[in-house]
Amino acid sequence: MRAHSRISILFLVLVAIALTAGSPGGVQRIVAIGDVHGDLGATRSALRLAGAIDEHDQWIGGDLIVVQTGDQLDRGDEEQAILDLFEVLRIQAQAAGGAFIPMLGNHEIMNAKADLRYVTEGGFADFADAVEYDPDDPALAEFEPDQRGRMAALLPGAPYALRFSERVLILQLGDNVFVHGGVLPEHIDYGIDRINAETQAWLRGETERPEIIKGKNSPQWTRLYSDEPGAEACETLGKVLAALGAKRIMVGHTIAEGGIASHCDGRIWCIDVGMSAHYGGPVEVLEIRGDDVRVLRP
């Protein structure tokens, strides 16, 4: 596995500055990509549609910012290749003056806490030799032999969990908020930075899993904004966006039947289109240039 390199807070600050200043020659271009669930082909197609990579999977996006809102894991057999591709693109994009920012979804959190309900047989096999480990390690004793390679890679403090610890659950870039599930008023009260920092500390194996990321109302699980949001959801979102000084939120987690959809007068964008083979949905991504937001399709 490629050695990991920490995404610094300074780097995210520099991204925010770039958004404020705008990219050379115009407004900063951002592309948001939803759930990919272990489907490398769909992931590549989405990245090429975004103008991020070439046919050799190399970054060609220049100062483009790509945000992938989590759920790289589960329901597919090519998860390790996706995670490794994302790490390469993160490094290449930063070197080119852009950014590739993969986020944490509920399935990354589930795997780190050993909830393996949605792992495929191929998913276990895929991680069998992902990292070096002692099969007799007491920390792995509760798992079946075919599960131990995956857990040696993904439990808090393990190599791939350390890579996850460089990611955030909630990200704000200028007027845009990105999250897998949603941001609720209680998350604002608790503190966005605190949620991210405590989740990262848990993934590093330093603390227990924070209570704020447990349950159906956590940032990675809530469906308030993605499951046919009505007036109440729009009102709640209005309070959240006002508190953050933002204009819109991009969420994954719940498949938007018929493709990427917007709600609440364009303040919610649901970008999970079920593009993985498990669901068989289309490949679509969301492009944001200032206040110009549009869906990109092949």
Q: Which residues are catalytic?
A: 107
Integer Cα distance of 266 and 261 in angstroms: 9
* CA neighbor of 293 nearest in space, from 124, 174, 193: 174
3-state secondary structure the chain: CCCCCCCCHHHHHHHHHHHHHCCCCCCCEEEEECCCCCCHHHHHHHHHHCCCECCCCCECCCCCEEEECCCCCCCCCCHHHHHHHHHHHHHHHHHCCCEEEECCCHHHHHHHCCCCCCCCHHHHHHCCCCCCCCCCCHHHCCCCHHHHHHHHHHCCCCHHHHHHCCCCCEEEECCEEEECCCCCHHHHHHCHHHHHHHHHHHHCCCCCCCHHHCCCCCCCCCCCCCCCCCHHHHHHHHHHHHHHCCCEEEECCCCCCCCCEEECCCCEEECCCCCCCCCCCCCCEEEEECCEEEEECC
